[in-house]
Structure 1
């Protein structure tokens, strides 16, 4: 079966809270900067959830993970997608795999009997729509070559890798193997830098991943600066061109800057009443890859990505409903 996109990534269930600005000071005392993604251990996360529950009550539970959010968006727009991940044989793991199926994402994942639980991310959204994430990778941190579906990679137009995977030695090896399979079969490779904190903490690993081959690179401004180690965005853009055939830098409400291999162009953003930026970059990447797989040029794909992201930030949570994805596709067309 011919596929559009094959991906591997962390299987993370999001536990989302709306918090007030004054709670940020408590987070900072725990070395959790506002707007960041921080990796934490299970006990730390459990204590944080208890604190949030006491302060704000019930949370919203949803399936997340950066690459998964992108693949779910692409699938709902009409792309044929496959996703490889690792979950535990627990309630959250079963919930996660069932959710992939509901979104028409193919998978061949086995549930793990490890002592580690399915990964979770506590996502806290302040009134200014900024999201702060504290993630426990759990069994997802054990993602390895054993979880790859090489046939799916060979049969796809694109292999999509999330930068978060460089935090795990075995997951990074899986990325290397997936890239090797992709290059041997003519499958193009797209990579997301994922988070500034990941780039800074795992710089050598991130560089080694991208050196395996990168046709399209996704990042935001802070990630571009961190990766290039240049404060000037224009200099950062030059650095990205050296490691990828094409790249896209998201600019929040201002849209994105794209390099199509020959020229740089700014794609204007769309007006939105943002309440939650969680998942905006994910839907952007999924939307861009969907349009490229349809045969559209990078500029058109980036416009669609910006439009989809403008709709995502108006909703609470990292994903939209099936009808909302469909409406975006119809309106853009």
Structure 2
């Protein structure tokens, strides 16, 4: 029986506030370069007042993945919480405009927290330093998980950042049970080395018991398995059926069925690295549900990642299918 959704993502619903700065600005304002730091509302206001001109656009790691998947024509839904405020309405509109089903009720206007936002400081080398105020998205609860939606998905995609929410582990468990009970599969992205450090035991248990497809970058998988890169990849391949790990300019590594595949990176001038891994995952999952082999999925993913780092922001601005065809990959038009 055909399911309604090919992919349902669960993550932190955020609006990105993107601004260019230099390394001195990071140092002067106590921002650690190249990672995601959780901040409170007051720190968010303070940083916002200090940055230069900024661009606001819908973001959130899993939401970016889902938007990229939908851009390619995939049937997708997203679960993440925003408030009934200006940024929340922008987030919901942008996602639905991509063709994504988004049905999570908005938090009331009188909620103590605002819609989450991530102040992304982009340095001249394209590296992004993320300062995240989770806001209401931190309070996504098991009650927000629609079991019927999860059961009606071929894949669910879980965002590692969501492990920081107080009800997140229970919400994930509810989603996994509903999806797996109906024959669905589970993909997880590790998201961030510091997130792994905060929730290592929970990640390890989920990898052993629930995850069919793991996305990570080199720093994340080394943090997860506390060893060198190649050993970490091999350990992950014992836990998970398919491991997909990016290594920046060195491309991507795919381990499945005892084999290891390397997909070279697509050379690109880096303008803003925000969302590279998110769009990589979206394109890989789209290729997978469309029946492409793993090497083709990895190539598509690298092309998608290269597109998003070529401009400011974490959403696709070009026709990815046209880019796939330009690389000699066979995909249907439309």
| TM-score normalized by the length of structure 1 | 0.94
Instruction: Tell me the residue number matched to 1:233.
Output: 229
Residues 198 and 19 (structure 1), Cα distance of their counterparts in 2 relative to 1, 3 Å cut: same
RMSD: 1.3
Q: What CA distance in whole angstroms lies between the structure 2 residues aligned with 1:280 and 1:178?
A: 26
Map Cα deviations across residues 18-53 of structure 1 (whole Å, 9 max, x no partner).
1112212124xx2x310010011010111011111x
Instruction: Tell me the residue number matched to 2:207.
Output: 210
Q: What CA distance in whole angstroms lies between the structure 2 residues aligned with 1:115 and 1:206?
A: 30
Give secondary structure in 2 for the equivalent of 1:296: coil
Q: Is the 8 A contact 2:266 2:302 kept in 1?
A: yes
Q: What CA distance in whole angstroms lies between the structure 2 residues aligned with 1:95 and 1:325?
A: 24
Give secondary structure in 1 for the equivalent of 2:101: coil
Instruction: Tell me the residue number matched to 2:88.
Output: 93
Q: Which runs of 5+ in 2 are unaligned?
A: 330-334
2:160 to 155, 159, 163: 163
Q: What CA distance in whole angstroms lies between the structure 2 residues aligned with 1:160 and 1:330?
A: 26
1:63 to 40, 58, 65: 58
What is the CA-CA distance between 1:329 and the residue it aligns to? 4.4
Q: What CA distance in whole angstroms lies between the structure 2 residues aligned with 1:202 and 1:65?
A: 19
What is the CA-CA distance between 1:169 and the residue it aligns to? 2.5
Q: Does 1:302 align with 2:298?
A: yes
Instruction: Tell me the residue number matched to 1:2.
Output: 4
Instruction: Tell me the residue number matched to 1:249.
Output: 245
Give secondary structure in 2 for the equivalent of 1:133: strand
Instruction: Tell me the residue number matched to 2:44.
Output: 45
Q: What CA distance in whole angstroms lies between the structure 2 residues aligned with 1:292 and 1:107?
A: 23
1:75 to 52, 65, 70: 70
Q: What CA distance in whole angstroms lies between the structure 2 residues aligned with 1:80 and 1:48?
A: 37
1:311 to 280, 303, 307: 307
1:116 to 113, 121, 125: 113
Map Cα deviations across residues 165-221 of structure 1 (whole Å, 9 max, x no partner).
111130221011101111111101100000111011221232233344111000000
Give secondary structure in 1 for the equivalent of 2:155: strand
Q: Is the 8 A contact 1:9 1:165 kept in 2?
A: yes
Q: What CA distance in whole angstroms lies between the structure 2 residues aligned with 1:277 and 1:228?
A: 25
What is the CA-CA distance between 1:326 and the residue it aligns to? 4.8
Q: What CA distance in whole angstroms lies between the structure 1 residues aligned with 2:76 and 2:187?
A: 14
Q: Does 1:190 align with 2:178?
A: no
Q: What CA distance in whole angstroms lies between the structure 2 residues aligned with 1:213 and 1:319?
A: 29
Q: Is the 8 A contact 2:122 2:129 kept in 1?
A: yes
What is the CA-CA distance between 1:277 and the residue it aligns to? 0.7
Q: Is the 8 A contact 2:148 2:178 kept in 1?
A: no
Structure 1 residue runs of 4 or more that deviate by more than 4 Å after TM superposition: none
Instruction: Tell me the residue number matched to 2:174.
Output: 177
Give secondary structure in 2 for the equivalent of 1:277: coil
Residues 212 and 166 (structure 1), Cα distance of their counterparts in 2 relative to 1, 3 Å cut: farther
Q: Is the 8 A contact 2:16 2:120 kept in 1?
A: yes
Provide the aligned length of Structure 1 versus Structure 2: 324
Q: What CA distance in whole angstroms lies between the structure 2 residues aligned with 1:176 and 1:110?
A: 20
Q: Is the 8 A contact 1:288 1:301 kept in 2?
A: yes
The structure carrying a bigger helix percent of its residues is: 1
What is the CA-CA distance between 1:330 and the residue it aligns to? 4.3
Q: What CA distance in whole angstroms lies between the structure 2 residues aligned with 1:148 and 1:330?
A: 37
Q: What CA distance in whole angstroms lies between the structure 1 residues aligned with 2:140 and 2:27?
A: 34
Q: Is the 8 A contact 1:172 1:209 kept in 2?
A: no
